[in-house]
Amino acid sequence: MIQTQLYLISPLDVGGSFPERLERALGAGEVAAFQYRVKGLDQHEAARLAGPLQEICAAREVAFIVNDSIALAKRLKADGVHLGQKDGTVKEAREVLGREAQIGVTCHASRHLAMEAGEAGADYVAFGAFFPTTTKVTEHRAEPEILEWWSTLFEIPCVAIGGITPDNCRPLVEAGADFLAVSGAVWGGDETAAVAAFAKKIA
């Protein structure tokens, strides 16, 4: 059984002291990946803000994944891209970013979308939201059973997302989530304590 790992998602504001916060979070426990998720910035500004964060991730061997934008992922030579259902296809991302890129796909609570993503060559599928979240508007609610179903049948890793905290994450770990994608639970308070608390609950 592979141990569940943390997948951090950035807050929308990554300027100011955020690089120091990221450094502290990554130093507080094992983190497998960091998703760069900014909205409403032009690509030049998004790339400028990404620079220091990408360096911090590279120094700790944490995968740097860009949310939504295949073009920005290419520009940054990021480790991969995370695609929502309206952000282009796995095939397009693969053609632009190459064989080595990590391509993840949001599948909400849909087994059908997850199987399609897997068939298209996604490197991971993300299910959620499992709990109410303030980070984004969610129309879909997923139950832990979907993680169990997926991990029993498929080799492709699955990510659980949506309102996950150290207090509620255990059933998702037990259901077979390979990664817990977390944002608010870490950046909403003391990131060092939060990452340490997740590490303890996962173990």
How big is the CA angle at 157 (ends 43 and 175), to the nearest 5 degrees? 120
How big is the CA angle at 192 (ends 181 and 172), to the nearest 5 degrees? 30
140-183 tens-digit pLDDT: 899 999 999 999 999 999 999 999 999 999 999 999 999 999 99
> Which band of pLDDT confidence, cut at 50, 70 and 90, is reported for residue 133?
confident
pTM, whole model, 2 decimals? 0.96
Name the residue range of residue 170's domain: 5-202
63-84 tens-digit pLDDT: 999 999 999 999 999 999 999 9
The beta strand positions in the chain, using DSSP E, are 5-9, 31-36, 63-67, 80-83, 102-106, 124-128, 158-161, 179-182
CATH of the domain at 69: 3.20.20.70
Whether the predicted pLDDT of 29 surpasses 80: yes
What's the total number of domains in the chain?
Answer: 1
Whether the predicted pLDDT of 103 surpasses 80: yes
